[in-house]
């Protein structure tokens, strides 16, 4: 029997440019924290090895400090790690991996496989058939040699590769770095550990994507897991358990405001979020000024609770009612003309956001002036 953890797509060094500096720093740090969590789990579960199927680093140009920190994060597990370059950190002549070697920071229990071939672990009675990417994009199946690769007859055969299984994933995703969907069968593999797709996904009984360990985009494809894999005996189907490890949960909500009760419902949903959540919120619809202010307040309060928040309200039309205008003192005169002009500007897609913001600011200023 052999038991190992399968992970991939750590993409250490991701910049998170869509977020502000403070948010991005926390999200980047979480990727190290979750690597440490994987190491701790590997020790607690007493696995025989940890496999990382490519894209350990997000880019070749990460700093030396980032490289050192990554390998330092592995210290919680003293067993063997097998790491494979992917398309983001391909094994070029000069790469992040050659820099790591010069820095002399790769622990002795970490095997970085930079050339295609078979790595034998005699103590595990396992042959790891490894297909590292030696360039960012290839149009040939790098796992083809698995079919003819030799290994001892009494050893498990475990494949390790990074790419897109042809015809299985979403349309357009498998245009480069293709992998045959029948590779596990034709190469007589007990298990094929893949990276590239950022969600954990079963291709067939012996072929799995682990997905990224820490979610990094607003896509509902089951990221944030590692796979705990057990091979009981030669030829037996693997037992695969998806184990959640992610620190943050990324959510994308699309909300339409039609009636005031929609605002109440959204507010309740937002109140349930906390420090482990990253939210992208798209709000559209048409509402009165009082409801729009309630939405803004709920968003501002949420921003203080969650780890990161992106909000898009360009399609939310603010239409002040007669009572709104009376409360503002804007039923006539100069102020009334300003409100009317702002309402007209909301019909222009390029001005809608600014007009809605101006109406909300106007309401805030008027209320603050009366309170003073």
261-308 pLDDT tens trace: 999 999 999 999 999 999 999 999 988 878 888 898 899 999 999 999
Q: Are 155 and 38 part of one and the same domain? A: yes
Is the pLDDT assigned to residue 242 strictly greater than 90? yes
Residue ending a domain, choose from 197, 213, 244? 244
What is the per-residue pLDDT for 364? 64
Confidence category of residue 28, pLDDT binned at 50, 70, 90: very high
Q: Are 17 and 117 part of one and the same domain? A: yes
Of the candidate ranges 83-92, 106-115, 243-252, 316-325, the one whose mean pLDDT is the lowest: 316-325
* Structure tokens that stand for 278 in this block: 């990253």
Query: What is the C-alpha to C-alpha distance for residues 316 and 7, in angstroms, rounded to an integer?
Result: 41
Q: Are 158 and 230 part of one and the same domain? A: yes
Question: Could you count the other beta carbons within 10 Å of the beta carbon of residue 137?
Answer: 10
Cβ atoms of residues 55 and 88 within 8 Å: yes
How far from 324 is each of 10, 138, 288, 320, CA to CA, in Å? Answer: 51, 61, 8, 5
Confidence category of residue 339, pLDDT binned at 50, 70, 90: low
Q: Are 209 and 255 part of one and the same domain? A: no
- The domain in which residue 264 lies consists of 249-371
What is the per-residue pLDDT for 5? 98
Average confidence (pLDDT) over 226-254: 96
Bridge partner list, 195: 162
Closest CA to 50 of 138, 121, 152, 146: 121
Closest CA to 73 of 95, 118, 105, 120: 105
Is the pLDDT assigned to residue 104 strictly greater than 80? yes
Q: Are 147 and 272 part of one and the same domain? A: no
Number of separate domains in the chain: 2
Confidence category of residue 174, pLDDT binned at 50, 70, 90: very low
Burial level of 372, CB count in 10 A (0-12/13-18/19+)? exposed
Q: Which residues contact 189 (CB under 8 A, 6 or more apart)?
A: 129, 146, 157, 158, 159, 183, 206
Q: Are 105 and 24 part of one and the same domain? A: yes
Is the pLDDT assigned to residue 147 strictly greater than 70? yes
To 5 degrees, how large is the angle CA 202–CA 203–CA 204? Answer: 95
pLDDT more than 90, % of the chain = 71
What is the per-residue pLDDT for 334? 61
φ, ψ of residue 126 to 5 degrees: the values are -140, 135
Query: What is the C-alpha to C-alpha distance for residues 70 and 97, in angstroms, rounded to an integer?
Result: 12
Better pLDDT: 75 or 350 = 75
Residue ending a domain, choose from 244, 263, 289? 244
Q: What is the pTM of this model?
A: 0.87
Encode pLDDT of 176-217 as tens digits: 789 999 999 999 999 999 999 999 999 999 999 999 999 988
Closest CA to 277 of 245, 247, 254: 247
Average pLDDT, the chain: 89
CATH number, domain at 138?
3.60.21.10
Better pLDDT: 174 or 353 = 353
Q: Are 219 and 272 part of one and the same domain? A: no
Q: Are 15 and 152 part of one and the same domain? A: yes
Is the pLDDT assigned to residue 372 strictly greater than 60? no
Average confidence (pLDDT) over 147-154: 96
Q: Are 265 and 225 part of one and the same domain? A: no
End-to-end CA distance of the chain: 76
Is the pLDDT assigned to residue 14 strictly greater than 70? yes
Is the pLDDT assigned to residue 336 strictly greater than 80? no
To 5 degrees, how large is the angle CA 214–CA 216–CA 218? Answer: 125
Closest CA to 140 of 180, 96, 84, 83: 180
Residue corresponding to tokens 């490894």: 130
Q: Are 116 and 265 part of one and the same domain? A: no
Q: Are 91 and 232 part of one and the same domain? A: yes
Residue ending a domain, choose from 194, 221, 244? 244
Q: Are 229 and 261 part of one and the same domain? A: no
Is the pLDDT assigned to residue 90 strictly greater than 60? yes
């Amino acid at each position: 029997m052999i038991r190992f953890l399968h992970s991939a797509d750590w993409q250490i060094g991701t910049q998170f440019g869509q977020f502000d500096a403070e948010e991005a720093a926390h999200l980047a740090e979480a990727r190290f924290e979750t690597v440490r969590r994987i190491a701790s789990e590997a020790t607690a579960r007493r696995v025989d090895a940890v496999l990382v199927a490519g894209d350990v680093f997000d880019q070749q140009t990460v700093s030396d400090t980032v490289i050192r920190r990554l390998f330092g994060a592995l210290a919680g597990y003293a067993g063997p790690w097998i790491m494979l370059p992917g398309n983001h950190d391909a094994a070029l002549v000069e790469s992040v991996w050659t820099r790591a070697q010069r820095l002399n920071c790769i622990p002795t229990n970490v095997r970085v496989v930079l050339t295609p071939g078979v790595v034998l672990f005699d103590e595990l009675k396992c042959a790891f058939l490894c297909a590292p990417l030696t360039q960012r994009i290839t149009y040939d199946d790098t796992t083809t040699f698995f079919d003819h690769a030799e290994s001892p007859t009494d050893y498990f055969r475990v494949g390790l590769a990074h790419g897109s299984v042809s015809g299985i994933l979403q349309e357009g995703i498998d245009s480069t770095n293709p992998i045959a969907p029948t590779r596990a069968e034709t190469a007589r593999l007990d298990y094929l550990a893949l990276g590239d797709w950022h969600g954990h996904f079963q291709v067939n009984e012996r072929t799995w994507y682990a997905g990224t360990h820490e979610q990094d985009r607003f896509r509902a494809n089951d990221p944030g897991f590692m796979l705990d894999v057990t091979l009981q005996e030669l030829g037996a189907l693997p037992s695969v358990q998806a184990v959640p490890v992610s620190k943050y949960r990324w959510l994308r909500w699309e909300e339409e405001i039609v009636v005031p009760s929609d605002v109440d419902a959204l507010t309740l949903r937002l109140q349930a979020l906390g420090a482990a959540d990253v939210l992208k919120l798209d709000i559209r619809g048409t509402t009165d000024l009082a409801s729009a202010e309630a939405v803004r307040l709920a968003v501002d309060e949420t921003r203080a609770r969650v780890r990161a928040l992106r909000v898009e309200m360009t399609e939310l039309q603010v239409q002040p009612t007669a009572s709104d205008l009376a409360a503002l003192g804007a039923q006539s005169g100069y102020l009334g003309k300003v409100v009317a002009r702002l309402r007209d500007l909301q019909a222009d897609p390029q001005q809608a956001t600014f007009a809605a913001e101006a109406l909300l600011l106007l309401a805030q200023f008027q209320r603050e002036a009366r309170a003073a």
